[in-house]
Amino acid sequence: YIQSQRLELYHKHANQLLESGHAYRCFCSPDTLNQMREEQQARGEFVKYDRRCLSLSQAEIDEHLAKATPHVIRLKMPDNHLFAFDDLIRGHVEMEASQSDDQVLLKSDGFPTYHLAATVDDHYMQISHVIRGEEWLSSTPKHIWLYECLGWQAPQWVHLPLILNSDRSKLSKRMNDVSVESYLNK
């Protein structure tokens, strides 16, 4: 799939989430978000969006839309919810929703974030197993919630340990040799 050719599909599902109340528009500026993060860090709090746009009235939302105020669409994570899933490597995993942010699903430029695009694409490709690095484990509740909100069956999750370079840094496709030709030349 080429995501830039599927924007209409991502927008359709983002709008479905808005209509069902599982997502909301956020009109906060980058400066507002930075100040929010700094204040939370200074207080030693878990840094996440404080949902200030969740309480906007429809009239306020309509006013922002009429003025073409840049905005994103955020997933509304449930309060006081325990996400439990079985990972094929890690076994039974439980995570509190309170440790998940109201993730941006659709950016102000109209493009989806990984979270929305991967969920939609995996659904339409009928992906049965998502195999990814363990750094994505903390995002799994968001993805499970997206599947549930969209009425879709979630795949089986598999979170692999990271592969490290000799200096113990994370192996990255953007470091060192990045092409097959480079390996062939060696």
Residue with tokens 């929703």: 97
CB-count burial class (<10 Å; 0-12, 13-18, 19+) for 26: buried
Name the helix (H) or strand (E) containing 123.
helix 114-124
Q: Which residues contact 54 (CB under 8 A, 6 or more apart)?
A: 24, 76, 102
Residue 186 is among the residues annotated as catalytic for this protein:
no
Catalytic residue among 142, 170, 173, 186: 173
Alpha-carbon Rg for the chain, nearest whole angstrom, is: 19
Phi, psi of 106 (to 5 degrees): -130, 120
Token pair for residue 63? Answer: 């006013």
Listing from the earlier edge strand, what are the strands of the sheet with 156-160?
Answer: 91-96, 82-87, 156-160, 129-133
Q: DSSP assignment, residue 138?
A: G
The set of catalytic residues is: 173
